[in-house]
Each structure stands twice: as structure tokens, then as C-alpha cells.
Amino acid sequence: MKYPHYLISLALLLTLPVQAIELKGAGSSAAAPLYRTWAESYAKTNGNTLTYEPSGSSSGIKKIKESSVDFGASDVALSQADLKKYKLIQFPSAISGVVVVVNLPGIRSGDLRLNGEVIAKIFSGQIDEWNDPLIAALNPGLKLPGKTILPFVRQDGSGTTYNFTDYLSKVSKAWQTTFGKNFTINWDSKFTQVKGSSAISAAIRKNPYAISYVDYNYVVQDKLDVARLQNHDGRYVMPSAEGFSAALAASGWKTQGTFEEMLTDKSGPKSWPLTMGTFIITQQSAKNIETAIATLQFFTWAFINGDQLVNSVDFVRLPDALQARVFKEMTTVTDSNGKPLKWNFQ
């Protein structure tokens, strides 16, 4: 039997391999392990790849506003005004926390207790010795070294810094007045500034008597020593997925399906005081339909199939009610004419 030429041509086209799409993301260094883990697994299902640059939350926001990446990643939610101005949407991808990490020879991880006021004084340069009376008062019976505190801080525009300073602004009026909350801070000139969460982790491991703040997944993977922190209810707690979930439960994220509010200093006996969400930001009006659809399909796949991968890199998955709102946000992405994109769950 002879077939029409157009059917032969169609058959040949259908047998050709579909060209994989390379997605580009940038931003949060805290969330880099999560997105890379999702990407490695996703590439095995359909061949699409993701290149992710852990350049810091400020950079990720800047790049998506410029449309130089397919998505930006930030550990701080954009305001509704910014989303409207730049025609963007955002949604959380997971929950984690900021942890105060130390390198104190002879003191086990979790034995050191700190509260918000003392942390604020350390990172404002007012306390510079480990055996300072204010630290000693929180740690009766603990043999504190008479050594200079070596603070390491983030130089780049960091969502981790924003969450850390948001917490300090809530627990210390002096900090709020002098520094406030921001992606970057005018740190004391004696402090050592580094770029990225990986650099913070490396600095803490290499320098005795150091202190810093870093994302929980780096604490677990790099086996960093942590300080036990006093939470909103006055309890001294260790960082954990349970603590992050407790803070989330005390917020509007879970009760109202909202995710714009900060998760720091939430009430509850088990709440970790430095809990944070991490976010994806992408164009609401797609400039490239193919990559926009591929981006939506990637994150849809991640929420449906990637929950166990979230746990594997020490993040906390989003509750089902929040995932439902995420999918609703995704359906608002349109083409340049305002028509919703047509895409399926892969």
C-alpha cells in the first residue's frame, strides 16, 4: 500500500527525538541542593535539564525581573506591589530554617544556649568574647573559652541574611533601630564577609571560635555544631524539621493558605525561631511559551513526585493545602495576549 507523502513526513517527524529543553534558574544558595536534587531526578524522566546558579536571593530576584532566567529563587517573598509591577508570580517550594552555627573546641553541638538579645549583641559587635557575662549567664556550668568571637557573615544579597535580621529585629529593639532587616547589612568592619552558604559552612569548619548563621541543610550535610536558641515561648530548642513544622503551624501559611508572612519568632513550645520558606518566582506573562510551560511542568512534577527528595536534602515539604494554592498560582501564567497557557502535569 502506498501512503500519501504528508503521512510519511508526519511519521518521520514523530520518530525524531524530541529536543530536550534546558531551563535556567538563579538565586537562593540555601535552596540550591533542593533544586539540583529535583533536577537530577526529573532529567531521568523526560530529558529536560536545569542549570541553577546559587547567586543569592537578591540576584535571583534581579535576574527574573530582567527575564534573564526562567525562574528566580528567593528565601523571601516579594511584595504584592512588586509582583504586580514586574508581572511576576511566586510560590513556595519548601520550608527550612536558619541556624546559628559555632566552632567551639571542647563544647558539644547544642550545649551552648543563646537568646535573641545576645545574638544581636554578638552580630552588632557589642559582645566579642566567648566568656562574656551575658553569654555565661545563659550557660551556667558550661566552661566557656576566654577567646575572641570570630563572626563570619554574608557579603552577597542573601535571603538567609534577610530572615536572620528579620528575627533579630523582632527580638531586639536596638537591632531594629540600628540595622533593621535586609538582604545585606552594614556589618562591623572586624567581621569576615563571604559569599554563599557553602562559604559560610567552610569558614565555620576551618576556624575555631567562629560563629555564623547558615541554612539547616548545610548544618546536617556538613555536620556543623549549632547553638540551642530560645524561642518565642522561652524554650531552648534545637533546629529540626519538627521545629520548622511547628512554626509553620502557628502561621497563616497553614491556617489560611497564605505564604507572604515571615515565619520567624512564631509561638509554640517546639517552634524554631528562625524558620523560613524558600520561593520560586517566574513571569506571569510568558515571554517564551516553551520554556514557561517546561518550568511549570518541572515544578508540578516536583510537588507531585519530589516530596521524598525534599526530605533527602533536609527541607520540609509543603502541606497539601499550600500545594493546592501553588497549583492555583501556576494556572495564572498566560501568553503575551493574556490567554492561559495549556500544559499538563508530567
CA 241, 95, 300, 260 dihedral sign is positive
Residue 73 lies in a domain: yes
Same domain for 315 and 232?
no
pLDDT tens by residue, the chain, 346 residues:
443 443 333 333 333 344 689 999 999 999 999 999 999 999 988 888 999 999 999 999 999 999 999 999 999 999 989 999 999 999 999 999 999 999 999 999 999 999 999 999 999 999 999 999 999 999 999 999 999 999 999 999 999 999 999 999 999 999 999 999 999 999 999 999 999 999 999 999 999 999 999 999 999 999 999 999 999 999 999 999 999 999 999 998 877 777 889 999 999 999 999 999 999 999 999 999 999 999 999 999 999 888 888 988 889 888 887 888 888 889 999 998 899 998 775 5
CB atoms within 10 A of CB 256: 11
Q: For residues 304 and 325, what is the distance between their CA atoms, to the nearest angstrom?
A: 14
Residue 345 lies in a domain: no
Domain limit, last residue, from 256, 275, 294: 275
- Name 274's Cβ contacts closer than 8 Å, sequence gap at least 6: 97, 98, 99, 100, 163, 164, 167, 213, 229, 239, 264
Question: What is the reported pLDDT for 307?
Answer: 81
What are the φ/ψ torsions at residue 171 (nearest 5 degrees)? Answer: -105, -10
The CATH number given to whatever domain includes residue 326 is: 3.40.190.10
Same domain for 253 and 178?
yes
Same domain for 246 and 133?
yes
* Residues shown for the chain: 346
How many structural domains compose the chain? Answer: 2
Residue 343 lies in a domain: no
Same domain for 78 and 112?
no
Written as nine digits, the cell of 159 is 535571603
Residue 339 lies in a domain: no
Same domain for 233 and 306?
no
Same domain for 86 and 169?
no
Same domain for 309 and 266?
no
Question: What is the reported pLDDT for 19?
Answer: 65
Residue 38 lies in a domain: yes
Written as nine digits, the cell of 178 is 540600628
Domain hosting residue 121, numbered range: 97-275
Report the alpha-carbon angle 102-127-137, nearest 5: 80
Cα 28 to Cα 12, 216, 260, 287, distances in angstroms: 43, 14, 17, 23
Same domain for 291 and 312?
yes
Domain limit, last residue, from 230, 246, 275: 275
Q: Rg for the chain (alpha carbons), in Å?
A: 23
Same domain for 164 and 70?
no
- In 3D, which of 161, 148, 154 has the Cα closest to residue 104? 148
Same domain for 90 and 101?
no
CB atoms within 10 A of CB 164: 26
Same domain for 259 and 281?
no
Same domain for 91 and 150?
no
Residue 288 lies in a domain: yes
Residue 53 lies in a domain: yes
Residue 337 lies in a domain: no
